[in-house]
Amino acid sequence: MKNNIGKCLIVCVLGLSVCSCEQIDRLIERLHPQPISESVVVSVGTNMLYEEDLKAVTVFATNAEDSAKIADEYIRGWATERLVYESAKKQLGARKELDDMVEDYKRSLYVHEYEQQLLNKRVSQEINADSMATFYEREKNTYILTDNIIKGIVIIVPRKSPQQDKLLKWLKNYDEDIDQVEHYAYQFASSYQIFTENWQLFSKLLSKMPLDEGTALKQLKNKKTDIISASDSASLYLLRITDRCFEGEQMPFDYAEPFIRHSIIDKRKLDYLKNYEQTIYLRWRDDELLKQQNKQQNNE
């Protein structure tokens, strides 16, 4: 242990001189005149830190100082963690419950990784429109809005921009006057966003406007109000609403679509794993029964 600690301290001091691949090579030569392996930088017990590991963590260093700091911190952390682990094992001795926990965790990692590979290969991500529509109708009570959402247009212009009355008129008749709105925005707007095809959270849009939330919600819920406006000393903020849905209502299909897709794929994955686990168990059970039958026949 003293020898390992000494190695760690030597590496930490020498790490300050590390700044490039060539200097890392020199560090390795100085640390290990007769190394265990040409690629080993330092070892703690049976654990070894390899040259390629150290080079990998310093590869993005921008200068010699950064490279030295990164290498030193990495070696310190790597060695300290393993020294503490070795000390813990000696002090605690054999602990079956810990070994069992480690084995359970290892088994879970293997199972999870294998299942993910199976799912990626065997479960299709393709979903046709009819399947989504059917799922939506069957599970529509599941998809309830937790926020107010809208479609529309946000335009922010300087407070003294010209023809604001015309801009308001064009926004009211947006379907017919889209060209005029876009031309005006191109000339004067400091910000212009069209989301007439995509739902947005009302609260997110409201955060861009100097408007009281309570007042804005009242205007939003008044379906006769198509334009919500606000201003400060510098700008005029206009929100043209083309569609709206409220918290507690059923999600529109186009808003719920990504949630539906996720639900369908998740169900496919669960069904696949259930069938796979059942199949592998039944195969094992049948093999065991066959072994028992063969054993009985041989005994007879």
- CA dist., res. 100 & res. 7, Å (int): 33
pTM score, whole prediction: 0.67
What is the per-residue pLDDT for 38? Answer: 60
Burial class (CB in 10 A: 0-12, 13-18, 19+), 206: buried
Span 65-84, pLDDT tens digits = 888 788 888 888 888 888 88
What are the counts of helices (DSSP H) followed by strands (DSSP E) for the chain?
A: 11, 6
What is the per-residue pLDDT for 37? Answer: 56
Q: At what angle do helices 64-92 and 51-58 cross, to 10 degrees?
A: 130
DSSP element (H, E) containing 158 = strand 149-158
Average pLDDT, integer, range 143-172 = 94
* Reported confidence tier of residue 16, pLDDT bands at 50, 70, 90: very low
Burial class (CB in 10 A: 0-12, 13-18, 19+), 251: buried
For residue 73, report the phi and psi dihedrals to the nearest 5 degrees. -65, -40
CB 227 within 8 A of CB 238: yes
Burial class (CB in 10 A: 0-12, 13-18, 19+), 105: exposed
Compute the mean pLDDT over every residue in the chain, rounded to the nearest whole number. Answer: 85
Looking at per-residue pLDDT, the higher value among 263 and 12 belongs to: 263
Token reading at 15: 């790490």
Span 228-284, pLDDT tens digits = 999 998 999 999 999 999 999 999 999 999 999 999 999 999 999 999 999 999 999
